[in-house]
Each structure stands twice: as C-alpha cells, then as structure tokens.
Chain A
Amino acid sequence: MRIPLTHWSKLWVICLTLLAPITHTHAADLSLAYETIEPPSIRMGESAVIRITSMDGYLDNVPLPSVTGLKFEWIGRQQGFEFVSGKPIPSSYVLIKVTPEFAGVFTIPGLTPKSRTLGLEVVAAETSNPLAWRNYKSSAPPPPPPPKVTSLPKGAELKAGGAAFVRLVIPTRDIYVGESVPVDIEVGLRPGIVTSLNGLPTLSGGDFTLNNLSRQPERRDEDYGGNQFLLMTWHSVLAAVKPGDFSLSVEAPMSVKVNTLSAEDISIAARMGAPFLQSLYSAIKPKEMTVTSPTSELKVLPLPTEGRPNDFSGAVGNFQVTSDIAPTHPAAGDPLTLRLHVSGTGNFDRVDSPMFSQLEHWKTYPPKSVFKKSDAVGYKGEKVFEQPLITAKSGQQTIPGLAFSYFNPTTRRYERAQTQPIQVSIGATLANSSPGSLDAATLRRGLRPDHDPSSRSVSALEPLYFQPTFLAVPATLALLLAGGWFVVRPSPARVNARVNARVLAQLEAAAKSGDSVSFFELAHQTLLRTGAAGEDIERLSALADEAKYSRYEPGNTDFPHWLAVIRARLKEI
C-alpha cells in the first residue's frame, strides 16, 4: 500500500510519541502548563476528558478539581510532542476523565496557574452523539446510514447529512392568479449540529409572492427517527402572479458543524486509541450551507373572463358582506358613518372600496378602510370600509344596499354579495324643532322681561367701523385732508420775510455781543444767499476769514455799517 506524503508527518509524530518517555522524565513547572477539555458539550452518560499539556517536562502533583455535579477520575499520563513554530517540542500530558452526574452548564476552575476556567455543557440523555455526523469526502468510504426517517413529515427529506430538512406545505388543488393561499414552511434542525439559521427561508422562483413571513416562527421540539429536532414553522400566504405549471421549493441558509477530516485521517485517529491523539485529528468546524426543500408542483389557472363583473377589483376568495350605520337617530346636518364589513378568507389586499361616490340628498366623503386579520398571515379576517355621510334633509331616508363582487375559487365563478338597504330617520335641526337640552322652567325663572321693539334696526350686525361702506367715509376725509396739506402752503414772500427777520435778529445779537466771527460769517452767507456780488462780498469774506483766524479786534469793527448794507440788500430783494 502506498502511503501518501501528507501522512509522513503524522507517522513521525507517532514515532516520536513512542520514544518520548525515554527522553524526558524530570518534573515540570506547573506555571508552563495549560489545559483543554474535549468535547466541551456532552450528553448525560457520556464523559469528557481534560488534558493538561506541559512542554517543560514531567507533570507532577496536579490536583483533581472539585465541582458539584461532576466526577473527576485520573486516566493517566502520556508523552508526546507539541509543534511550536514548526519545531516538535517534547511534551507530557495528564488526562482526567470528567463524568457528569446531572445535566447543566458547569464551570471547572483552572488546574494550572496559566490555564483559564473550563466550561462543560451537559445536556439531557441522548443515545446519539451530538457530533456524530461527519462530512465524508467522495473518496471516503460510504457514509453511515442516515437516521431513520420513518416518522419524518410527509414530503420532508433530511439534508446536510441528516442534520436538517426544509418542507413546503402548499394546497393540493389548483389555484387562480391573484388568489391568496395559506402555506406553511417548516425547517427542522438538529440542535448541536446545526448551530444557527442564517436567514429567513426564501421561495425559489419569481412568479409567486410570499407575504407576511414573520421573523418569529412557531417552535417546537420533535423526535424524528430517535433524533431530537427543533421544528420551526412559518405560516404565510402565497399568491401567483401568472398562470402556468410551477415547481416550488424553499431554501433556508444555515450553519452546520461538519468534520472536515478525510477518511484516512479518521482511520489513523481510530488506530491511535488515545484521546489526545484523536484530538489531533479533530476538525469539527461550522460550515455555511443552504438546505432546499423537495419541489412541489402547483398549477395556476387564469381568472375566467366570462361573467366578470364591471366592479370586480381582483378579490379572490370567499367573502360575506354586512353593513350598518351610526348614529341611528341623527339630526339633519349631523355626520353619519356608513360601514361595510367584508369578512371571510382571501386576498383582502384586493378587496376594494365599493362605497358611494355620490348619493342623492347626501353629501358623501371619501371612505377609508381598516383590515382586522383573524389569523397570523391575514388570510382570514374582516375589512371594514367607513364612509361619512351628511344630509340636510330631515325625515325618513333610505340608503341603498352596497354590492361587492369577487371570484370564488371553490365554486369557480364570480359572485356578488349585496347588503340590505338601510332606513335612517333624520330628525330636524336643533334650531328648528329639537327639544331643548335644558329645563325650560329653570331658564324662564331668572330671565328679565322682553323689551318693546323700539330700537332702531340695522342691516348688519358688524359695528359701523368694520363695514367697508362706512370705512369709505374716514378714508375719503383723510385723503381730502392730505390733499389740503399740500394745497395750503405759505407764500414765498412770507417765508422770505420770516427768514430775513430771523437773520437780522441774529446779526444784531452778534453785533451787540461783539462776536465778529459769527457776525461776518452770517453776513457773508446772507449776502451770498441774496445773490449780491462785488466789493461788499469780497470784503465781507476777507473780514470773515480774518475774524475766524486772527480774532478780529472789536474796536475796529463797523457793525452798524454792515447791518445797514445787509438791510438794504434784503429790502432790495
């Protein structure tokens, strides 16, 4: 027999293992040891093994731990090699058998200074090993027979080496386009082997819609063929979008624990006989895979065109209708609510409003609808249409019955459901003849007597100042006054006389106080304003500058002369 090259390294390990006791026998330092437990999850009746590994020589004085519910027994010591950075290092092992006394999750304290706390999960008694299923390669010997499936649900097939199944439960009859039919999607998983479901089941093919697939399926434990399964069931509604013959299947993504060892590795590990050597070959890893259900055949029929009512909105199912109105004794002008109840089974999303768009003597408002489902997926339920109506006409009135058309897949024909007309008694408005809401005698007692109708009548209740016609009066007045403001202007001669008088008064005051700067400045500006020219202006300008910059001497001023000049000039203009 030719041994593959890949197994030479493993044969070296075996040889070195057999020679190891000769090479190292000195006591090891516990601080350089570590420990592991295999497997970390067992069932009642099974045992796990704690392996303490030391690469620093012979282990001595390892105390047995004490954990309530677990029984620890020495198995023995072994020698071997650990590979560190590709180099074999002689190591010694201590093996301790752990046997649970009851199910639960246990914490085992570290037995060496560097080791961490170990965890051990013990589940209820089970005949089979939770890690029994292995993913054998094609070259490997034939896989072990799958678990007995005699009790599996009809149409279910175990996949992923017997770890899971997916099943689609659909109606056995033909369905119609647009019809909603309830379907169940079942996913069975073996806990411990299937580690997680990685998404919701999906329907293969795009010619169907799957509605209302809840994120929380029904869960229950089932025993199929002696194996424990977690069965998850999603209830949903399937609808076909086109006619034809279809094959349907459902797939679910999940993670499954698989043993990736080849058959040769498994046979070598089996020959070792020692748990630690077997553990060298342990390669159980989670693998993501998609499990698909067996295909189910479904025939989708088109809706017949013959006999299709004009008001058919696409509702397919079995429906019943009733109607009511509230309040039953309204007054004219009061809003009423007309309700149409459509109940039964079918595609309620296609049940459309058949309410009134217009009704004689009534004012109609757009209806609104509310759907109350009776099951988890909305296949059964009641859709209520509410339409507000208002009438101003009092007396006995009749609201016609409401009709609703749908296709019944059971009878395979279109049907029309109609409600009975509703009689409504509309009372008169309160302002006219409704009885008073208070005791009239009580009100009458404290009232002051009536007046003689002698006051003046007016055409409107608004005060005059809020009436546009009256507002025209003050507005016109304001406009007239504003216009008068521009018309009535003082005459220019009067304005000039007033200005000249003010200037002369200022000049006299400046002359009197000897303020030559102000006097000559003002005199200069006044002559300029009056349009004077020539010597007087030039001289006055010079005097003003002189007064401004070198303090004109009061004794040398001739204020009377200049006042006379300015007066004469002002008189001229």
Chain B
Amino acid sequence: MYSADTLYNQGNAYARAGKPGLAVLSYKRAALLAPNDPDINSNLEYVSATARVPTEAQFAYLVNPTAAAWLGVIGIILLGGSLLAGKATRHYRGLRVTAKLLGIGCIALTLSNAAVLWPRMHEAVILTNQTPARVSPVPMGDTAFVLREAETVTMAAEHEDYVLIRTRNGRTGWVARASLGTVVP
C-alpha cells in the first residue's frame, strides 16, 4: 500500500541519511499520488539540486490523477447521455448541449492529465553514484558515460539485467537494473 504522506516521509528519511537517489525516488512516487503537494515538490527540487542533478519543471495539475479518472467517467456519462437524449427527444435542447459540452470538457481534462503523467510511468532514478551507462547490455560493455546518483532517466528497453535508459539531454546507454529504481514499481 502506498500513501503520499508515507512516501514523502520516507523520502525525507533517505535524504537525512544522505541517500539522494532513494530520496528522489520516494518523492517522485509521492508526487504521483499528490502532484500538487508543495512540500513534496519543494523537497524533490531541493534534494535534486543538492545532488547536482538536473531538476525538472513542475506542472500545476488542475486535479489529481484519481479525480481526473473519475471526471473522465462522468464525462463519458454526460456526453453519451446527451447524445442518447437528443436521439430520443427534441425537447430540452439547451440542457442537452450543456451536458454535451461538460462531458467533452471532462474527457479532455482526463486525457490531458494522462498525457502529462504518461512519461512518468517509464521514469527511473539512479540509485548509485557514478553509475556507468554502457554501450551494450553486458557487464563488460564499454562505458559510454557516467550517471550521477538521483538523476532521473527514462527507460526505453530491457535486456536481462540491464535497462536501456535515455537521459534528459538525449544520451542513451545500458544501466544495470540494480543501479536504478523505477518510479512505478
């Protein structure tokens, strides 16, 4: 079971223990549940800056993802219901148009929320300092570049114990699975 507060507190504990990688990972998980929580975003930004890894722009979400999901359901009901009503009767035209617009708005809100959060489903945080990103998914592969602890990367593919990652500046390399933690486990 996950809760935003528990994950946030866990992140604080890791940060106090001097483990920025695990702290950033916990904050990012907490931010999935409470994206507009100012404490989570502040500590995430602070730990990232202290670990000298690039910080990402924080989105101000209109609603949290759970609410957005239910709004989407309501939007489908409103849109579908108004369309059905229009087919059944020619009365209450104003009400039907209003319901139709509200339904479209709710669905659009849900889709935009999902589009913003979708990349985070494939994010991972580097947990060990000076993690080598190799050119091939084997331990003896040449090192293409080195990653800092707490750096956030995007996972593109997996091969046995290695994950193909892409950094924010577009570089790609294979990292040992044990050296990173996925934001969505």
Contact = CB atoms under 8 A, between A and B. Distances in A.
B161 A446 contact: no
A450 B176 contact: no
A417 interface: no
A573 interface: no
Given A333-B178, A438-B50, A444-B15, A458 B33 contact: yes
Interface stretch (A139-147, A472-480, A545-553): A472-480
A465 B69 contact: yes
Contacts of A474: 72-73, 76
Contacts of B68: 463, 465
Chain B interface helix/strand/loop/mixed: helix
A335 B19 contact: no
Which one of B34, B42, B47, B80 has the highest number of Cβ atoms from chain A below 10 Å of its Cβ? Answer: B80
Interface of B: 1-6, 8-9, 12, 15-23, 29, 32-34, 39, 42-43, 46-47, 50-51, 65-66, 68-70, 72-73, 76-77, 80-81, 83-84, 87-88, 110, 113-114, 117-118, 121, 127-129, 138-140, 149, 161, 176, 178-179, 181, 183-185
Interface string A337-373: 1000000000000000000000000010100100000
Contact of A453 (B3, B15, B18, B80): B3
A197 B130 CA distance: 58
Contacts of A468: none
A120 to B, nearest CB: 59
A172 interface: no
Which one of A337, A435, A450 has the highest number of Cβ atoms from chain B below 10 Å of its Cβ? Answer: A450
A415 interface: no
22 contacts: A334-B176, A334-B178, A437-B18, A437-B129, A437-B149, A438-B20, A440-B16, A443-B20, A450-B8, A450-B12, A451-B5, A453-B3, A457-B2, A458-B66, A459-B1, A463-B65, A465-B69, A474-B72, A481-B76, A481-B83, A485-B84, A490-B87
A280 interface: no
A557 to B, nearest CB: 36
A270 interface: no
The 5 closest A-B pairs by CB, nearest first: A436-B18, A481-B80, A335-B139, A333-B178, A463-B65
Contacts of B176: 333-335
Nearest to B23: A443
A464 B65 contact: yes
A461 B20 contact: no
Contact of B69 (A447, A460, A461, A463): A463
A157 B89 CA distance: 117
A113 interface: no
A484 B21 CA distance: 52
Contacts of B149: 437-438
Contact of A464 (B50, B70, B80): B70
A462 interface: yes
A456 interface: yes
A213 B121 CA distance: 59
Nearest to B86: A488
B140 A488 contact: no
